């Protein structure tokens, strides 16, 4: 269901999903730019993209797709890898940053939910569970090793030249392949696996 249908049918649910989704995406992109900046690339900072302002990150087409189809994207943070001394290391760390940021946010949300012994029926509990779920889904989605997703860039940092060439050749078909994989539900086991890791860590931290 797209966000537009949700807004028309259930405005409260729209707010409950739209705001956490927006900031999950913002933190994801911000993490890319921040790690690139720490590694020597100031492109994102110079373009004002190291910001929590949603207007700096929203992509008009991606936002429209999200509202209509429930599947969209933000403007990718610009990264100039030529300013990063170690290209492979930069590719791996910068690309991983968004996924790690989403996992950290999901961990914080689930930790607070369990620490405060909240119920899923409460507003705070629902917000935390929704925020955690959105971040886990974003992390799982971006782990797909197909361009233009982060997973492909992480793989490029490790892969030999032949694999890099093959991955880059898939870029023009990547969007359609990704849509097909989502339709087949391939993300479900990855989402469950990532959530299981977070909950296992939380169970070790909380009595």
Catalytic residues: 29
The 10 Å Cβ neighbour count of residue 175 is 13
Cα separation, 102 vs 47, in Å, equals 23
Long-range Cβ pairs for the range 86-92 (8 Å, 24+): 86/39, 88/157, 88/158, 89/39, 89/157, 90/36, 90/39, 90/41, 91/153, 91/154, 91/156, 91/157, 92/153, 92/154, 92/157, 92/158
Give which of 84, 27, 73, 72 is closest to 50, Cα–Cα. Answer: 27
List beta partners, residue 74: 58
């Amino acid at each position: 269901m797209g966000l537009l249908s949700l807004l028309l049918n259930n405005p409260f649910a729209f707010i409950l999903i739209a705001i956490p989704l927006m900031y999950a995406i913002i933190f994801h992109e911000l993490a890319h730019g921040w790690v690139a900046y720490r590694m020597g690339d100031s492109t994102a900072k110079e373009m004002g993209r190291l910001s929590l302002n949603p207007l700096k990150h929203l992509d008009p087409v991606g936002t429209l797709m999200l509202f209509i189809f429930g599947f969209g994207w933000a403007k990718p943070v610009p990264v100039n890898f030529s300013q990063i001394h170690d290209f492979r290391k930069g590719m791996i760390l910068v690309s991983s940053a968004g996924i790690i940021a989403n996992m950290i946010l999901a961990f914080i949300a689930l930790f607070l939910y369990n620490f405060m012994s909240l119920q899923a029926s409460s507003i705070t509990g629902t917000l935390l569970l929704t925020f955690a779920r959105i971040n886990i889904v974003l992390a799982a989605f971006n782990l797909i090793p197909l361009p233009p997703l982060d997973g492909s860039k992480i793989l490029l940092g490790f892969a030999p030249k032949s694999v890099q060439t093959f991955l880059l050749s898939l870029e023009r078909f990547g969007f359609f392949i990704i849509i097909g994989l989502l339709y087949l539900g391939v993300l479900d086991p990855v989402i469950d696996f990532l959530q299981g890791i977070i909950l296992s860590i939380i169970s070790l931290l909380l009595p």
